[in-house]
């Protein structure tokens, strides 16, 4: 490290990844500095963050009703695109949900910023554009999501061919639920993730395993690995975050605590590593029973449906993303049963007429249409 303090813009600073990223930055004041913070409607939380961190810029949705008076920070207000292209910014962390981050990510890449990528939707929908623009502008895509981050750590310094990648899954909050009552699982049960504290959408996705479908697509774009070389396995303890097998049969695994601060830190400080006292260390002797299982299709019907759909390429991944966004929203609003998520996904997929060689606007329109179809579903 050359003494340069990296400037960071955080899109989604009030969310699960965003708040943990702030914790990481606070541990390294001589290495990282927050330049921009963007959120949507959590005005009170953003207000606190601005008071504490004093960023140069901040962004919030002014159309949302709010009890918090943001007028005293009006001078900091910036459009998200300006926060992503500002001269003081080296890395943009994309930690928003949905597709908000897609255009700002591409703008940031075009102005030479590295992207710490947490938001899955942007790589699923705009993978082609993000990867090709990143190559063109020689910027790095730094994976934050713990599984792609683990794969990335495993392949550091490796030049030989990858034989197989094992993406691990905790199995989610409903992994031990009786199959007969699984479909009626409540929101409360579904939100109780055994290992990770995450935002609501991704917590539901980890119970259906749609989260893993998205990570497989992510891995394909980020590491250019063919479908048949990616396996997803259930590893209840969430200590091995993924593994890579090379042609000689040797396997590298990335192991660590179930703490998102760890992959966030690796991405923001890459290629350097520093001790962070706020991250617990992994002790093998306290983890004597690390287990691996195959995916039970009866428990996770969305997984196979999702993978088979994603493999078809073109607009199919955008359908998955949009339909899942709508279905999970309905579930979280208490409008459908847990089993309704699969029913809606299946319905929207069946109705989709794919577009060959889609443009980014085709992909975004497909996401939006699939979301609308899902949210208006009657199941």
Site residues, ligand NAP (CB under 6 A): 12-18, 38-42, 95-98, 100, 118-121, 145, 196, 198-199, 202, 260
Residue closer to ligand NAP by CB (options 37, 245) is: 37
Pick between residue 175 and residue 193 the one whose CB is nearest to ligand NAP: 193
Q: How far is CA 89 from CA 24, 34, 47, 56, 107, in A?
A: 17, 9, 21, 10, 13
245/270 with CB nearer ligand NAP: 270
Least distance to ligand NAP, CB of residue 93, Å: 10
Q: Closest distance between ligand NAP and the C-beta of residue 296, in Å? A: 23
Q: How far is the CB of 210 from ligand NAP (least distance, A)?
A: 10
Burial profile 46-62: b = 16 or more Cβ within 10 angstroms, e = fewer: bbebbeebebbbbbbee
Position closest to ligand NAP via CB? 15
What's the CA gap between 111 and 86, in Å, rounded? 9
Spatial neighbors of 339 by CB under 8 A, at least 6 apart, are 182, 183, 184
Decide: residue 336, CB within 10 A, 0-12 exposed, 13-18 middle, 19+ buried.
Answer: buried
Whole-angstrom Cα distance, residue 14 to residue 379?
A: 33
Q: Which is nearer to ligand NAP, 15 or 301 (CB)?
A: 15
CA 276 to chain centre: 22
- Closest distance to ligand NAP from the beta carbon of 214 (Å): 7
Of all helices (H) and strands (E), which one includes residue 240?
Answer: strand 240-246
Instruction: Decide whether 14 or 78 has the Cβ nearer to ligand NAP.
Output: 14
Q: How far is the CB of 18 from ligand NAP (least distance, A)?
A: 5
Q: Which is nearer to ligand NAP, 139 or 198 (CB)?
A: 198
Residue 246 CB, nearest approach to ligand NAP (Å): 26
């Amino acid at each position: 490290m050359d003494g340069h303090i990296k400037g960071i813009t955080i899109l989604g600073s009030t969310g699960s990844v965003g708040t943990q990223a702030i914790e990481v930055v606070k541990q390294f004041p001589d290495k990282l500095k927050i330049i921009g913070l963007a959120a949507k409607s959590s005005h009170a939380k953003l207000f606190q963050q601005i008071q504490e961190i004093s960023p140069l810029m901040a962004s919030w949705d002014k159309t949302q009703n709010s009890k918090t008076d943001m007028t005293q920070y009006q001078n900091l207000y910036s459009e998200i695109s300006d926060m992503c292209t500002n001269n003081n910014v080296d890395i943009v962390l994309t930690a928003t949900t949905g597709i908000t981050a897609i255009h700002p990510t591409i703008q940031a890449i075009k102005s030479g910023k590295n992207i710490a990528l947490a938001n899955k939707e942007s790589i699923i929908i705009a993978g082609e554009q993000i990867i090709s623009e990143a190559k063109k502008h020689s910027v790095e895509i730094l994976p934050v999501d713990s599984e792609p981050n683990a794969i990335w750590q495993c392949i550091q310094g490796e030049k030989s061919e990858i034989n197989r990648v094992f993406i691990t899954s905790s199995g989610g909050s409903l992994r031990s639920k009786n199959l007969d009552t699984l479909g009626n699982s409540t929101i409360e049960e579904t939100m109780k993730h055994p290992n990770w504290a995450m935002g609501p959408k991704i917590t539901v996705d980890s119970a259906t395993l749609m989260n893993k479908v998205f990570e497989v697509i992510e891995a394909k774009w980020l590491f250019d690995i063919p479908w048949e070389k990616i396996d997803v396995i259930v590893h209840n303890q969430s200590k091995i975050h993924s593994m890579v097998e090379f042609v000689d049969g040797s396997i590298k695994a990335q192991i660590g605590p179930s703490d998102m601060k760890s992959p966030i830190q690796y991405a923001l400080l890459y290629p350097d590593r520093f001790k962070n006292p706020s991250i617990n260390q992994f002790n093998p002797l306290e983890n004597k029973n690390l287990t691996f299982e195959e995916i039970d299709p009866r428990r996770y019907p969305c997984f196979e449906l999702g993978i088979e759909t994603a493999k078809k390429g073109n607009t199919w991944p955008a359908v998955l993303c949009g339909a899942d966004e709508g279905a999970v929203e309905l579930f979280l609003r208490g409008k459908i049963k847990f089993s309704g998520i699969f029913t809606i996904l299946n319905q929207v997929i069946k109705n989709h007429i794919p577009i060959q060689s889609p443009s980014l606007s085709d992909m975004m329109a497909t996401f939006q249409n699939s979301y609308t179809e899902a949210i208006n579903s009657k199941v």
